Amino acid sequence: MKIVVIGGTGLIGSKLVNKLREHGHEAVAASPNSGVNSLTGEGLAEVLKGASVVVDVSNSPSWEDAAVLKFFETSTRNLLTYEAAAGVGHHVALSVVGTDQMSESGYFRAKIAQEKLIRESSIPYSVVRATQFFEFLKGLADISFDGEKVRLPSVLFQPMAADDVASAVGKIAVGQPVNGIVEIGGPEQFRIDELVRRRMASLKDPREVIADPNALYSGAKLSETTLVPDNNARLGETSFQTWLTQPAAQIPSAPQHTGVAVMNKEKESQKKAS
């Protein structure tokens, strides 16, 4: 089966491409570096020839509210248009658990718009909402640091290993479209501040992590369960303690996933404004 992965050179995309190839599929990593640009439409007609499935794990290069909305709307429209012309039978998109509860955030308003376009298109689809990744806990701490302390909301959190994200998305991609949302998450629940504190300790980072009820996540106020998947979620197998023993835990990734990156940009904007 030919499966085109949009954003196929990123953290999740590269893992997904490798897993699909290991299972005998023709997985194509599509990105601007390979001459495929979903924002401009460049290369889409060529790469989608003969494709059965398209998996979109791409992310906006800009986090400003208008820019991120334009990216997800334009990119998704282009993908769906070219997929329809190519006869693609399954569109899979990676989204975020709690997206519809965080409309205060410009980033999540853009993800809501993306999901709406997919839902209203004629192409069978599966939207995969994932929780945050273990790989970005250090980044979450960095952008929540006010110069003295790391301030985080003490709400429930069920993050997962990026490798488990890629495995789950791969299984959904080769299956039948659900024409709805599938949620995926980690096998354990934590409080955000508790888990980030443990991650900092593993890195011997001395910064103090405190629970702050006023701390925002991507500009949105969180409820107790905003970031927790529903009871029907598909859970990854890798526990946090197991992940800490793996190579991925030794080198903290730059914050890229969903809220982490946009929080960083918002913090930069606030600094400039002040």
Which amino acid is located at 124 in the chain? P
pLDDT at residue 252, as a whole number: 53
pLDDT at residue 251, as a whole number: 66
Domain containing residue 151: 2-263
Q: Which two tokens stand for residue 196?
A: 């980030």
pLDDT at residue 63, as a whole number: 78
* Distance, first Cα to last Cα, the chain: 53
For residue 61, name the pLDDT band (cuts at 50, 70, 90): confident
Task: State the chain's maximal CA–CA distance in angstroms.
Answer: 55
Task: Please report whether residue 269 resides in a domain.
Answer: no
Q: How far apart are CA 75 and CA 90, in angstroms?
A: 17
Render pLDDT for 62-102 as a digit per residue (tens, 0 to 9): 878 999 999 999 999 999 999 999 999 999 999 999 999 99
Task: Please report whether residue 76 resides in a domain.
Answer: yes
CATH of the domain at 81: 3.40.50.720
Render pLDDT for 172-220 as a digit per residue (tens, 0 to 9): 999 999 999 999 999 999 999 999 999 999 999 999 999 999 998 888 8
Render pLDDT for 141-160 as a digit per residue (tens, 0 to 9): 998 999 999 999 999 999 99
Task: Please report whether residue 98 resides in a domain.
Answer: yes
Task: Please report whether residue 221 resides in a domain.
Answer: yes
By the 8 A CB rule, do 165 and 13 touch? no
Render pLDDT for 227-259 as a digit per residue (tens, 0 to 9): 999 999 999 999 999 999 998 887 655 444 444
Closest CA to 80 of 129, 143, 124: 124
Render pLDDT for 41-53 as a digit per residue (tens, 0 to 9): 999 999 999 999 9
Closest CA to 204 of 147, 138, 256: 138
CB-CB neighbours of 199 under 10 Å: 23
Q: How far apart are CA 131 and CA 199, in angstroms?
A: 17
pLDDT at residue 248, as a whole number: 80
Handedness of CA 73, 74, 80, 81 (dihedral sign): positive
Q: Dihedral, CA atoms, 93, 98, 101, 107, nearest 10 degrees? A: -50
In the chain, the number of structural domains is: 1
**112: Cα separation from own chain's centroid:** 13
Instruction: Please state whether beta strands 53-56 and 2-6 pair in parallel, antiparallel, or not at all (unpaired).
Output: parallel
For residue 266, name the pLDDT band (cuts at 50, 70, 90): very low
Phi-psi category of 187—alpha, beta or left, where left has phi over 0 and alpha has psi -120 to 50? alpha
Task: Please report whether residue 271 resides in a domain.
Answer: no
Checking if the pLDDT of 37 tops 70, the result is: yes
Task: Please report whether residue 272 resides in a domain.
Answer: no
Task: Please report whether residue 17 resides in a domain.
Answer: yes
DSSP output for 77-116: HHHHHHHHHHT--EEEEEEETTGGG-TTSHHHHHHHHHHH
Residue 108, phi then psi, degrees to nearest 5: -75, -25
For residue 261, name the pLDDT band (cuts at 50, 70, 90): very low
Task: Please report whether residue 268 resides in a domain.
Answer: no
Closest CA to 126 of 30, 70, 54: 54
